[in-house]
Amino acid sequence: MQLCDKLDLVRLLLQLCISNVHVRLSALLTWTSEWLRGRTGQSKLTPKDQSRATTAGQRGPHRVQVTTPRSVNYHFTRQCNYKCGFCFHTAKTSFVLPIEEAKRGLQLLKQAGMEKINFSGGEPFLHQRGVFLGEMVRYCKQELELPSVSIVSNGSMIKESWFQQYGDYLDILAISCDSFDEETNRAIGRTQGRKSHLDNLYKVRNWCRMYKVAFKINSVINTFNVHEDMIEHIASLNPVRWKVFQCLLIEGENAGGNSLREAEKFVISDQEFQDFLDRHRSIECLVPESNQKMRDSYLILDEYMRFLDCRAGRKDPSKSILDVGVEEAIKFSGFDEKMFLKRGGKYIWSKADMKLDW
Active site residues: 80, 84, 87
Cβ atoms within 10 Å, residue 171: 26
Residue type at position 185: N
Q: Is 270 exposed, middle or buried (0-12, 13-18, 19+ CB in 10 A)?
A: exposed
All residues at 6 or more sequence positions from 67 whose CB lies less than 8 Å from its CB, including other chains? 330, 331, 333, 335, 337
In what helix (H) or strand (E) does residue 18 lie, and over which residues does it extend? helix 3-39
Omega into 105 within 30° of 0, i.e. cis?
A: no
Interacting residues of 291 by C-beta distance below 8 A, sequence separation 6+: 246, 248, 270
Question: How is 89-135 classified by DSSP, letter by letter?
Answer: S--S------HHHHHHHHHHHHHTT--EEEEESS-TTTGGGGHHHHH
How would DSSP label each residue in 252-281? TTTBSTT-S--GGGG---HHHHHHHHHHTT
Neighbouring C-alpha atoms within 13 Å toward the C-beta of 274: 3
* Distance between start and end Cα atoms, the chain: 99
Angle at 324 between CA 318 and CA 329, to 5 degrees: 35
DSSP 279-337: HTTT-TTEEEE-HHHHHHS--EE-TTSEEEE-TTSB-EEEEEHHHH-HHHHGGGS---H
Of 139, 166, 153, residue with least CA distance to 79: 153
Q: Any idea what DSSP says for residue 74?
A: E
Per-residue buried b or exposed e for 121-141, using 16+ beta carbons within 10 Å of the residue's own CB: bbbbbbbeebebbbbbbbbbb
